[in-house]
C-alpha cells in the first residue's frame, strides 16, 4: 500500500477509469457474481450516479451472465478485461514489478506528457529497483 498512489494513477491513465470505478471493481472482484441489488447496495457508499451501472456495462467492465427471466433476477459478473486488470493491480501491490516500457506504462512515453508523469516515472523506477534489490537479497 506504500505505492498505492502511483499504482492508482497508472491504472487511471492506462485504462481510463476513475477512482470510484476502480473501488467498485475491487468490491465486485471479491463477489464473483452479483445482482443489481448488490451493486446498488454498495453504490450507496458513493456519490450518486444513476448511470454508473449501465456505464460500466457499456465500457466493458461488467457483463450479464444470466438475463432476467420471469421472477428470477439477472446475474452479472466482471468481464475478462476487468478480472485481468484487478488481478494485475493485486500483483503489483503484492510486490510485483510495474511495467517500465512506454507501450505498457503511460508514464514512460517520451513526448507530450505532463511533468507529474515524469515524477511518477522516477518513482516507478525507484520502486522497481527496491523490489529487485529485495529479491536479490532473498536469493542469497
Residues 74 and 34 in one domain: yes
Mean pLDDT of the chain: 89
Determine the structural domain holding residue 133 and report its residue range.
97-140
Last residue of a domain, which of 96, 112, 132? Answer: 96
pTM: 0.84
Cell of 78: 466482471
pLDDT at 140: 63
Residues 80 and 108 in one domain: no
- Tens-digit pLDDT profile for residues 94-124: 989 999 888 888 888 888 888 888 999 999 9
DSSP state of 65: E
Alpha-carbon span 129 to 98, nearest angstrom: 10
Nearest partner of 78 among 68, 65, 96, judged by Cα:
65
Cell of 35: 445482482
- Tens-digit pLDDT profile for residues 8-32: 999 999 999 988 899 989 999 998 8
Other beta carbons within 10 Å of 85? 20
pLDDT at 105: 87
CA 51 and chain centroid, separation? 20
The answer as to whether 4 is a domain residue is no
pLDDT at 87: 94
Residues 129 and 76 in one domain: no
What total number of domains does the chain contain? 2
Residues 37 and 54 in one domain: yes
| Domain containing residue 92: CATH number | 1.10.10.10
Amino acid at each position: 500500500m506504500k505505492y498505492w498512489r502511483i499504482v492508482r494513477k497508472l491504472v487511471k491513465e492506462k485504462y481510463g477509469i476513475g477512482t470510484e470505478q476502480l473501488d467498485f471493481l475491487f468490491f465486485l472482484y471479491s463477489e464473483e457474481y452479483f445482482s443489481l441489488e448488490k451493486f446498488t447496495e454498495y453504490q450507496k457508499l458513493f456519490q450518486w450516479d444513476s448511470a454508473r451501472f449501465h456505464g460500466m456495462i457499456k465500457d466493458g467492465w461488467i457483463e450479464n451472465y444470466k438475463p432476467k427471466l420471469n421472477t428470477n433476477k439477472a446475474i452479472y459478473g466482471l468481464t475478462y478485461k476487468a478480472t485481468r486488470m484487478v488481478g494485475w493491480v493485486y500483483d503489483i501491490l503484492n510486490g510485483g514489478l510495474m511495467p517500465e516500457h512506454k507501450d505498457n506504462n503511460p508514464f514512460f512515453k517520451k513526448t507530450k506528457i505532463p511533468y507529474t508523469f515524469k515524477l511518477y516515472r522516477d518513482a516507478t523506477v525507484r520502486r522497481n529497483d527496491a523490489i529487485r534489490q529485495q529479491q536479490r537479497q532473498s536469493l542469497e
